[in-house]
């Protein structure tokens, strides 16, 4: 079985109840929940929340495959890790160790069902143990060391042209795939041989702050003109 798991909590500080705040006419969490529900590769969509208001909103979507899991409030605090609620759900749900676990981030509303299915195809046809979605960055990155800076992804003395520069892959947080067995063993969303699935650059945007909301809402209209 392939399970899409979307953790959403009610305690967001920067944007209160942001996961059900409307963006382009739908609650934020609707977009990833809908994408996961429509993905051919997904058998079950689990929204894990500690909020009764979020739960009622999610249930009103009437999406095929979708269920709500009432997460323990201790795993929905400001300091709780995403892994804590993943492990809580796995340990309580009786999943098979052979099941595949797709961790999906509600704050990445531009993730589509096609992205999920294509990522799964790459995962299925590879020898990797886990995979994350990523975007390719072509900025030149530097790191500070003892009051100086050093390049970490290019040679400044032989500056490449942008079209010849491979760049680096950056996690966009939208989707991760791993087996239940690996997650229980390593207590982490990624483990073993790790691979990346490259998504379009616009999926790099995540909604964390109010300014992100404006950017993503406009981008969604550009990517999906019918909105």
CATH number of the CATH domain containing 88? 3.90.550.10
Give the residue numbers marked as catalytic. Answer: 159
Task: Give per-residue pLDDT as tens, 141-162.
Answer: 999 998 899 998 888 899 988 8
Residue 176 has pLDDT above 80, yes or no: yes
Residue 21, domain member (yes or no):
yes
For residue 68, being part of any structural domain is answered with yes
pLDDT band for position 14 (cuts 50, 70, 90) = confident
Q: What is the pLDDT of residue 163?
A: 85
Whether residue 35 contacts residue 102, with contact meaning beta carbons closer than 8 Å, is answered with no
Asked if residue 144 belongs to a domain, the reply is no
Average pLDDT, the chain: 92
**Could you give the count of Cα atoms lying within 13 Å of 30 in the half-sphere of its Cβ?**
15
Q: Where do the DSSP E strands lie in the chain?
A: 2-7, 22-23, 26-27, 44-49, 66-70, 100-104, 130-137, 142-145, 148-151, 168-179, 194-198
Share above pLDDT 90 across residues of the chain, in percent, rounded to a whole number? 75
* 140 occurs within a structural domain: no
d(CA 192, CA 121): 19
- 154 is written with which tokens? 């290019």
Is 86 domain-assigned?
Answer: yes
Residue 179 belongs to domain spanning: 2-132+171-223
What is residue 65's predicted lDDT score, i.e. its pLDDT? 95
| pLDDT for the residue 227 | 63
Average pLDDT of span 81-95: 93
Quick one: pLDDT at residue 182?
97
159 belongs to a structural domain: no
Provide the pLDDT for residue 10.
83
- Is 143 contained in some domain? no
User: What's the CA gap between 53 and 21, in Å, rounded?
Assistant: 11
The residue count of the chain comes to 227
Q: Does some domain include residue 138?
A: no
Each residue's pLDDT tens digit, 34-71: 999 999 999 999 999 999 999 999 999 999 899 999 99
**With bands split at pLDDT 50, 70 and 90, how would you rate the model's confidence at 113?**
very high
Q: How many domains does the chain have?
A: 1
Does the structure show a pLDDT above 90 at 122? yes
Residue 225: is its pLDDT beyond 70? Answer: no
* Contact call for residues 47 and 128 (beta carbons, < 8 A): no
């Amino acid at each position: 079985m392939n399970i899409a798991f979307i953790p959403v909590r009610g305690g967001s500080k920067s944007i209160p109840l942001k996961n059900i705040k409307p963006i382009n006419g739908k609650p934020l969490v609707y977009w990833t929940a809908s994408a996961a529900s429509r993905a051919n590769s997904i058998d079950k969509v689990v929204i894990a929340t500690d909020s009764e208001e979020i739960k009622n909103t999610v249930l009103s979507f009437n999406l095929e495959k979708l269920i709500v899991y009432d997460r323990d409030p201790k795993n929905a605090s400001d300091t709780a890790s995403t892994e804590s609620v993943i492990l809580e759900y796995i340990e309580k749900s009786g999943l098979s160790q052979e099941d595949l676990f797709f961790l999906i981030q509600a704050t990445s509303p531009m993730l589509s069902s096609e992205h999920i299915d294509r990522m799964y195809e790459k995962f299925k046809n590879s020898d990797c143990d886990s995979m994350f979605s990523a975007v390719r960055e072509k900025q030149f990155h530097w790191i500070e060391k003892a009051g100086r800076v050093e390049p970490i992804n290019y040679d400044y003395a032989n500056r490449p042209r942008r079209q010849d520069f491979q760049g680096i892959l950056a996690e966009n947080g939208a989707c991760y795939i791993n087996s239940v067995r690996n997650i229980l063993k390593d207590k982490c969303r990624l483990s073993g041989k790790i691979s990346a699935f490259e998504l379009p650059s616009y999926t790099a945007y995540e909604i964390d702050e109010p300014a992100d909301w404006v950017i993503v809402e406009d981008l969604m209209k550009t990517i999906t003109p019918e909105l």
